[in-house]
Amino acid sequence: MEYTGVHPQKFLLWLAMASMTMFFGALTSALIVKKADIQTWENFRLPTVFIYSTIAVVAVSVLMHFSLIQYRKAKFGLFRVLFSIAFVMAILFLGLQYLGWKQLEAIGMTLDGNISGSFIYLITSLHGLHIVIGLLITLIFLANAIRSRKDPIYELSNIANPKRVFNLEMLVTFWHYIDAVWVYLYVFLYFNYQ
């Protein structure tokens, strides 16, 4: 009898994403509760650079999606280009987050200052940690993709190997998820810091 349920690795990914959802949900809930303490809460505008980081992270998701399509079609050259651009855009996202922190410092919101600013640093740095994890895994895929370009037989065996396709699908799912988390966080923070 053939097993037709959810692949165990896919189940673990979904479980991890569910726990990350609860984690970021708890952080945003804590922000709402703390914001109710109007004696110590300072309102300020989010750094404008965060909108650009949001655009960058959405681009990562789109590029990952199209790179997976190219991989499935065995168009490995285009896959490598799209995948590489997605990797660079994810690094750009982190750089823009850093610039956002610098904009916060410029208006007097430091990590150890008012709690309203500290929440921004906490939420963005924890999300950034997840981006770094995604980048490390993506780097492994990218290194293998670049190395295999010199061996067309190996490259074609990648498409025939369902495990490699599955692993790439898992990575793309992770990126879609973590990018969607940022869009949620940005919208949440935008409306809570006006």
Q: Is residue 126 a contact partner of residue 27, using CB atoms and an 8 Å limit?
A: yes
User: 123 lies in a domain?
Assistant: yes
User: What global pTM score does this model have?
Assistant: 0.90
CATH code where residue 123 lies: 1.20.120.80
Report the distance separating Cα 183 and Cα 178, nearest Å: 9
* DSSP of 109-151: --TTS-HHHHHHHHHHHHHHHHHHHHHHHHHHHHHHHHHHTT-
**Which own/partner contact pairs does 110-113 have at CB distance under 8 Å and 24+ positions apart?**
none
Q: Is residue 109 a contact partner of residue 132, using CB atoms and an 8 Å limit?
A: no
Domain that holds residue 21: 12-34+42-192
Per-residue pLDDT of the chain (194 residues; tens, 9 = 90+): 566 678 888 889 999 999 999 999 999 999 999 888 777 788 888 999 999 999 999 999 999 999 999 998 888 889 999 999 999 999 999 999 999 999 999 998 888 888 888 999 999 999 999 999 999 999 999 998 888 777 777 666 666 678 888 999 999 999 999 999 999 999 999 998 87
Determine the distance from the C-alpha atom of residue 108 to the mean position of all C-alpha atoms in its chain, rounded to a whole number.
28
Angle subtended at Cα 124 by Cα 62 and Cα 88, rounded to the nearest 5 degrees: 40
User: 116 lies in a domain?
Assistant: yes
* Count of structural domains, the chain: 1
